[in-house]
Structure 1
Amino acid sequence: MKKIIAILLVVFIISACSNNQVPNPTQTSGLPTPEVNTVTVPDVAVTVNQFFELWNTSDYEGMYAMLAQTSKDAVSEEAFVTLYKDTAAALSLDEVNSGIVSTLVKPASATVGYQVNFKSNLYGDLSRSMEMTLVIENNVWKIQWHEGMILPELTGGNRLASNIQAPARGDINDRNGNTLVTQTQAVALGIIPDQVSWEYEPVLVDTLSGALNLPKNIIRDMYEGAGNNYVALGEITQAGYDARATTFDSYGGLVKNSYTARYYFNGGVAPQVLGYMSLIPAEEIDQYTRLGYARDAQIGRAGVELWGEKYLAGKPAADLYVVKPDGTYDTRLASIDPKAPDTINLTIDKDFQILVQKALYGFTGAIVVMEVDTGRILAMASSPYYDPNVMMQQNYNFQYAYNDIWNDETRPLINRALQGQYPLGSVFKLVTAAAALESGLYTPDSRYECTSQYTELSGFTGDDWTFTRGLPPSGDLNLLEGLMRSCNPWFYHLGYDLYQQKGPTYLSDMARGFGLGSATGIDVLLENAGSINDPTTDGAAVQMGIGQGDMLVTPIQVVDFIAAIANGGTMYKPQIIEKITSINGVVVQSFTPQIRSTLPVSQSTIAALQEGMRLVVEDERGTAHSSFIGMETPIYGKTGTATTSLEDPNSWFAGYTDMNNPDKPDIAIVVIAENAGDGSRYASRIFKRVVQDYILGAPATLYPWEFDFYLTVTPTQEGATQTP
């Protein structure tokens, strides 16, 4: 019975199903057909490598822009950038190189393993392996950042700190080993004039003169009219002060303050050559800390101090620590031992340099002295001078004198021997004469009537110096006598004739061949190139013939070609570094003469130039003859009086000695005294004193404007005969 019921039930169900209608396959339900869009996940490696590249270029702002929003909410851009900068500084970071080790990508996140190699200027290489997590935001991978992604040790708010102990800076010495700059204890000296007992003032000033190596009248000029105000006078070593303490401590008004710092002897021997030091400027702190300097370090800012930084600074002792948020030191990651600095010896002679500087007292200008057969600079003076000691903030006088140096309209920080650019005036006639002799148009015996005025060029009248001074003209002169008399009409004529017959670039090309208008390559010190332009008109050509018009040269360029005339045509590269030695005496670098070119003239032309320069001094008609009367040393030279936009012209004298003494190498000397006037009256006499200083170790004759050695009055042209 149960089986029958079951069979009937099955039949009923089948029957019910067979009565349902089958849907028409063309009918729809009325709902849209679902669309499937496939979204490609960006390449995570591209994002990570971009982040690494920004890190390597220190573009921390760009790195911050790649963070996930949650990370940006947790750290500000300023805090992010500061952390990376501080870490780079603590590491003394040179460069950072990162690379992907592994990747695990999911639809909405990724994990990337990477390795970072930090190359430190102090600590060498430091490597770490880390992971970063990235998330998709607006279909772009963004980085979920935390401090441990820089270094694992920084997790939890830790920071890096570098403890740096720099060694004492290396000395700068002269060629004989005499110290020019060192680290030592010193005393800043100043005066409050109204507190001085004037009955004892002569003794005090006399003692100050000896201590500071300054003439007494210059010291008095420094504090004249200062009343009850403090006036910085200078600095001496502590030992130098102690030797005079009895005198110094006996008088009121003299203010003494001790300090320890970089010390420049004699108030700066060749200060524009040595340069100066200062604290790292705020805008350069990041740069220098990454080089391994402490934030409060002092660095070379000019001259040899700047150029020789890598030698003079040495390498510090340093320790790299992980510092906890509470300021306690946790782990030392790296440590290095110090490396002693090197010592730099210059080619200059300290005692001679001091005398050369004194030879320029009362003038604005420059003197360069160079060995004719080597290019070795024996002295380089630029006036006015400055005291590099007052650039040191430890010095009490810093607060009184520092701003005065920077605000001085005479620009004492400029090295006029290298950076001063001037028209050469009649010294250029040596170049014009060389061009004439090489042209084939003239010989040393070619003659010209040196009248009072040049009138060959229509519309132009050029005065000779004899006309300006009311003297008779020089008359009929051969070419070498034209040099001797510095005859303007002769060289106006040559400038015009060479322009017409040899072309517009002929004379200017010769000038460039003499090294004018281009840097000499002294390298260690900044130099300007000057300019020698091709004349484009008859008038410009005429002016070039006498060294006027559109030309600018530097004293270092002039001394270089003068030395080449002296030695037969070889132009040496001027050099100021004698040697660099390690603390163990190992020579790191030493002086070697370097030939940079030769004068583009024949030996017969050089011999003619030499003869003309000898006549300038030796012949009674020579423009410098009166300056060298009684001097036994053979001198070859050329006067120059270069017109400027100011009332008084620049005073030039360029020349060389011809002693042939193995114990005293022959030297070329160039003197320029800005706006002083007549070259034969001023520059030639300064030249003479420099020669005396070199040979005798002291001056032998007074200047006409001195009433005692280095006790000067203001030079004046009254009663002078101006010759170019």
Structure 2
Amino acid sequence: MSNIPETGRTPRVQIRLVIIQILVFSLLLTLGGRLWYLQIRNGQEYTDEAKNNGVQRVVQPAVRGSILDARGVALADNETRLVVSASRTELMKMPDDGKAVLTRLAEVLGMQPKEVMDKVRLCDAKTPKPCWNGSPYQPIPVTDEATTQQALQIRERAEDFVGITAEPTAVRRYTAPGKANTAQVLGYLSPVTDGEIEKAKDSESPYLRSDQVGRSGLERTYDKALRGKAGVTRYEVDNLGRVIGESDRDEAQAGSNLVTSIDARVQAVAEYELNWAMKEARKTFDRNTQRTYKADAGAVVVMENKTGRVVAMASQPTYDPNAWVGGISAKDYAALTSTESNFPLLNRVIQGQAAPGSIFKVVSSTAAVRAGYEFDGNYPCPSSLSFGGREFKNFESKGYGSISLGRALEVSCDTVYYGLAYNEWQKDGGIKPKKDSKDWFYRTAHDFGLGKETGIDLPNEVKGRVPDREWKQKFWEANKESWCKTGKKGGDYAEQVAYENCLEGNQMRAGDSVNYSIGQGDILVTPIQMATIYSAIANGGTLYDPTIGKAVISPDGKSVQEIKPKSHGKLPMDRKTRDKIDKALAGVVTNGSAAWRFQGWPHDKIPMHAKTGTAEVFGKQTTSWFTTYTDDFTIVMTISQGGTGSGASGPAVRNIYEAMYGLNEKGEQDLKRALLPKPQTSLPKVEPDGTIEAPEVKPYEPPKPEEEAGEPLGDQQNQNQQNQNQQDQDQNQNQNQNQQDQQQDRDTDQLAGPPARRD
């Protein structure tokens, strides 16, 4: 065995260790150099590339909840349509801003290129409709009526239609069951704007760019409940757009259903009868203007007395709300906003303002009682009264002797109210008011709720106007400069009025108070205000906030949030006065100004109350008003430039009642044909799968001509119609005389305001 010295192996081991150390150190240097190269040398480049990796959101729109009538019939729901949309983001990347693509798209869709381009341009202060008022980053619908063939052409030729999509999409549908349009009540939708998205981003219900929001009507008031919550799936993608994986998912939540108090059957009747009444008015000759009545607008509302819930609400002219679905065309938008069409977007039940005429006398009667006059006292009802040297005539210049306030309501005696208002005007100091003036006639109107909103659950309700001393002063301050520029002493009628208003337009003159007492002059009311007042008289004195929404029900039917009736006050009268006014209004339809319209009515079974009104509007024909109520319902109808209250609106209102109560031409009730003899109290049931069992709504079949007045149109009824027409003409002649007298005496007698109009 040989002996090998250890010193012989040591150098070789050391060499190996050195080599290993060199290799390790070289690897560390290489790794460090690579890290320096990636993070320092090219760090910004790779950072910029990494920014292109991110999360892509895919939005699944929520199904908007349905709007239902009181029995579960859909007034607004959703349907699937082929929607063609354009992406402005993609179009703006093209050299021609996508004009070539849109031109090809127009050819496929059978549209004009300009029409397509107008739809995708953005709205601003200078851009007329149609234009896109939603987010510029959201696909813009071009049409929701694409055919399958058109959609296939677009998808098969994707290279020719960059930025264009064609796919099935759920869109809003307004169903018009039984031809119940309900347009102004339902409202319409339009895309959310960037401003709205920004404003709501920190709220409980933020918007997504794909959202549609309510712009008017119930769609706007209950938008949050109806809209639901869109679903969002987030995908991780690389800089080339390739999906790396799913990040997270928020499931879409369908919107809740809104149950309303609208009855689609009664709504259809109300719409038909309002339209019919206006057509009939246009056939009636107005001797005052020597032409037929224009009857250019109208409104009717049916309300439950004990809850304030609205059963039907119609406004004319009207429109098809489906015109807004998928983006409104230039032609449709022009028709909806033009003077020629008389602005059909307006809901004239809550936005139409006019002088009320004699239906205001329930307010004046209450004011007189509050001022200390006995309701059953005797008040002179002469054929005319003179104030300041000017004569104010009664209807047909007919006097009734000394009568009570109740009888004055029945026969609509103007001179009774003229005298009471003039006395109170004098007590308050006349044109130089006392510091402690009571102003009972004006204060009472405010206490009835006039001059402010009723609180109905619809947007953009107007207040009307009570022309008290405060209003007179503010109105004079706002218009004095204009009046002084255009006024001329001894000029024509308008110049003379402007001249006088310049000098003393802030004074409460005798003529203002006298005309105001019979619902004339500067006072303005809306149909919903008068319906609220008359339903309060019917229910004993409670002023309810009118409501259309009745309940919000979740998509699965498990959650039901009822919208309870709310009151905003009481009528400013005691029970005794209320009962006497109620009795007088019953007398209007038995032996008063509306009796000829309710011949054969079963008063013993269905007590009817009413008040007629014919209001003068300067430069126009008279406004027809007809207010009525039974134990359960109030109906108010008005027709602009339609003639007298009972003459123009009376038959249509009676027809609505007959359909609701199931009355035939003999006044006999058949509950099988009655649409709504009692208010609907139960709610429709929503099944767990979202289905709703709803009854069919058949189109309204109007009564035959010989049945329209409640009985065959015989000689007596023909004579009644002729008498009423003659009364209207006599009334107009009296009105002309009042206008002439006013123009002659205006600068000396301190009387003012439009001339009085009587029933």
* TM-score w.r.t. length of structure 2: 0.59
Q: Which amino acid aligns with 2:355?
A: P
Residue 365 of structure 1 is matched in structure 2 by 298
Match of 1:353 among 267, 271, 274: 267
Q: Which amino acid aligns with 1:689?
A: N
Q: Which amino acid aligns with 2:622?
A: P
Query: Do residues 454 (structure 1) and 402 (structure 2) align?
Result: no
Would the aligned equivalents of 2:180 and 2:267 in 1 still touch at CA under 8 Å?
Answer: no
Q: Which amino acid aligns with 2:385?
A: Y
Residue 334 of structure 2 is matched in structure 1 by 403
Quick one: structure 1 residues 674 and 438, their matched pair in 2 at CA, closer, same or farther if it must change by over 3 Å?
same
User: CA offset at residue 567 of structure 1?
Assistant: 1.4
User: CA offset at residue 297 of structure 1?
Assistant: 3.8
Residue 687 of structure 1 is matched in structure 2 by 653
Would the aligned equivalents of 1:499 and 1:506 in 2 still touch at CA under 8 Å?
Answer: no
Query: Do residues 389 (structure 1) and 389 (structure 2) align?
Result: no
Query: Do residues 501 (structure 1) and 415 (structure 2) align?
Result: no
Residue 526 of structure 1 is matched in structure 2 by 460
Query: Do residues 261 (structure 1) and 261 (structure 2) align?
Result: no
Once the two structures are superposed, residues 527-546 of structure 1 have per-residue CA deviations (whole angstroms, 9 ceiling, x without a partner) of 11112131522221111111
1:520 & 1:480 partners in 2: Cα distance? 27
User: CA offset at residue 686 of structure 1?
Assistant: 2.4
Match of 1:550 among 513, 522, 530: 522
Q: Which amino acid aligns with 1:611?
A: K
Would the aligned equivalents of 1:681 and 1:720 in 2 still touch at CA under 8 Å?
Answer: no
2:538 & 2:263 partners in 1: Cα distance? 22
Query: Do residues 301 (structure 1) and 307 (structure 2) align?
Result: no
User: CA offset at residue 641 of structure 1?
Assistant: 0.8
1:718 & 1:282 partners in 2: Cα distance? 58
Would the aligned equivalents of 2:181 and 2:320 in 1 still touch at CA under 8 Å?
Answer: no
Would the aligned equivalents of 2:375 and 2:577 in 1 still touch at CA under 8 Å?
Answer: no
Structure 1 SS opposite 2:727: coil
1:458 & 1:584 partners in 2: Cα distance? 71
Query: Do residues 279 (structure 1) and 191 (structure 2) align?
Result: yes
User: Gapped runs of 5+ residues in structure 2?
Assistant: 1-43, 84-143, 148-167, 279-294, 429-436, 470-507, 663-674, 676-700, 710-720, 729-757
Would the aligned equivalents of 1:321 and 1:329 in 2 still touch at CA under 8 Å?
Answer: yes
Q: Which amino acid aligns with 2:312?
A: A
Match of 1:489 among 389, 395, 415: 415
Query: Do residues 464 (structure 1) and 394 (structure 2) align?
Result: yes
Quick one: structure 1 residues 700 and 322, their matched pair in 2 at CA, closer, same or farther if it must change by over 3 Å?
same
1:553 & 1:308 partners in 2: Cα distance? 26
Once the two structures are superposed, residues 527-577 of structure 1 have per-residue CA deviations (whole angstroms, 9 ceiling, x without a partner) of 111121315222211111111112111111111110111111111121111
1:522-601 matched pairs, under 5 angstroms: 522-535=456-469, 536-601=508-573
Residue 27 of structure 2 is matched in structure 1 by none
Structure 2 SS opposite 1:422: coil
Once the two structures are superposed, residues 295-346 of structure 1 have per-residue CA deviations (whole angstroms, 9 ceiling, x without a partner) of 3443321111112221112111102345554444456554211112111110
Would the aligned equivalents of 1:273 and 1:525 in 2 still touch at CA under 8 Å?
Answer: no
Considering fraction of residues, name the structure with more helix: 2
Would the aligned equivalents of 1:186 and 1:263 in 2 still touch at CA under 8 Å?
Answer: no
User: Gapped runs of 5+ residues in structure 1?
Assistant: 1-145, 189-234, 239-257, 659-665, 707-714
Once the two structures are superposed, residues 455-476 of structure 1 have per-residue CA deviations (whole angstroms, 9 ceiling, x without a partner) of 1x11432232314xxxx44444
1:68-467 matched pairs, under 5 angstroms: 156-158=51-53, 161-184=56-79, 261-266=171-176, 269-280=181-192, 284=196, 293-321=207-235, 324-329=238-243, 332-361=246-275, 362=278, 363=295, 364-393=297-326, 398=329, 400-407=331-338, 409-451=341-383, 453-455=384-386, 457-467=387-397
User: CA offset at residue 417 of structure 1?
Assistant: 0.6
Quick one: structure 1 residues 160 and 167, their matched pair in 2 at CA, closer, same or farther if it must change by over 3 Å?
same
Would the aligned equivalents of 1:147 and 1:156 in 2 still touch at CA under 8 Å?
Answer: no
Structure of higher RCO (CA pairs closer than 8 Å, 6+ residues apart): 2
Q: Which amino acid aligns with 1:507?
A: F
Structure 2 SS opposite 1:531: coil
Structure 1 SS opposite 2:228: coil
User: CA offset at residue 505 of structure 1?
Assistant: 2.2
Once the two structures are superposed, residues 260-279 of structure 1 have per-residue CA deviations (whole angstroms, 9 ceiling, x without a partner) of 63111126631111001223
Q: Which amino acid aligns with 2:608?
A: I
Residue 610 of structure 1 is matched in structure 2 by 582
Quick one: structure 1 residues 479 and 602, their matched pair in 2 at CA, closer, same or farther if it must change by over 3 Å?
same
Residue 405 of structure 2 is matched in structure 1 by 479
Structure 1 SS opposite 2:70: coil
Would the aligned equivalents of 1:268 and 1:386 in 2 still touch at CA under 8 Å?
Answer: no
Would the aligned equivalents of 1:635 and 1:656 in 2 still touch at CA under 8 Å?
Answer: yes
Q: Higher Cα Rg: structure 1 or 2? A: 1
2:266 & 2:551 partners in 1: Cα distance? 19
CA RMSD of aligned residues (A): 3.4
Structure 2 SS opposite 1:518: coil
1:518 & 1:689 partners in 2: Cα distance? 31
Quick one: structure 1 residues 293 and 160, their matched pair in 2 at CA, closer, same or farther if it must change by over 3 Å?
farther
Quick one: structure 1 residues 154 and 562, their matched pair in 2 at CA, closer, same or farther if it must change by over 3 Å?
farther
Identity of aligned residues (%): 31
* Matched length: 485
Structure 1 SS opposite 2:190: strand
Query: Do residues 625 (structure 1) and 595 (structure 2) align?
Result: yes
Quick one: structure 1 residues 292 and 429, their matched pair in 2 at CA, closer, same or farther if it must change by over 3 Å?
closer
1:688 & 1:187 partners in 2: Cα distance? 45
Residue 727 of structure 2 is matched in structure 1 by 721
Structure 2 SS opposite 1:299: strand
